[in-house]
Amino acid sequence: MLAFRNEALIKQAAVLCRLMGQRQLPSSNSGALTQSSTRHYRSKPTHGIGRYKHLLPPEAPPKKKEKPTSKEIKASSDSAYGTVNLEVSGYDMTLVEHYSQYVHNLCNRLSIKVEESYAKPTITKEVLLLHEQGTKMFVDAVLTTHERVIQVSGLSATLAPILMEVLMMNQPEAVQLVVKEHTESDFQVRFKGRPDLENLMAQVS
């Protein structure tokens, strides 16, 4: 008897739960009760969900990077050089690029501090040819010079001859290597000049 009563109570509770969970509206045609298929949460605005940036404080605008006007030049001592430029130049960009990479890797292996490695602006020159009979000149060839600079510092006086000897032994053909002390003019050559802007600045001043 107890088992039948429990089953009856469970069935009644299930029916009540179904009736409570369903929303029934009278039908306009037959008067029967039907379940509503409308979803009320669809009418609520959800366009602001997930946005949080308006809650954060406003960020300061990024500062514009200023063009460097000069660079500190390290002075040489009795046992070591200061800032030295290893300039590699040539007409074939592939040879110049590979040899500059070799110089950079060799300095790293010999524990020579490389300050930076950069490329200078490309220089283009035209070779003009003059006919034997006539005064008109025409372009015979265009020579494009590529240059890379490996800047090192703290090169010891005892290691410098060894480094120069190794670099000259592995220097490829048609590639020129120049070793010189870094100066302020070498830093300014890195930037491409703008003659029109310089003329306007001269007229204003």
User: What's the pLDDT at 195?
Assistant: 80
User: What's the pLDDT at 23?
Assistant: 45
User: What's the pLDDT at 150?
Assistant: 92
In terms of Cα–Cα distance, which of 116, 93, 131 is closest to 186? 116
Architecture of domain 83-192 in this structure: 2-Layer Sandwich (3.30)
* Distance between start and end Cα atoms, the chain: 112
* Predicted TM-score (pTM) of this structure: 0.58
User: What's the pLDDT at 107?
Assistant: 92
Cα 121 to Cα 145: distance, rounded to the nearest angstrom: 9
CA distances from residue 7 to 2, 17, 19, 21, 173 in whole angstroms, order as listed: 9, 15, 18, 21, 101
Below-50 pLDDT ranges, the chain = 2, 23-34
User: What's the pLDDT at 177?
Assistant: 94
Q: 58-106: per-residue pLDDT in tens?
A: 888 888 777 666 666 777 777 888 889 999 999 999 999 999 999 999 9
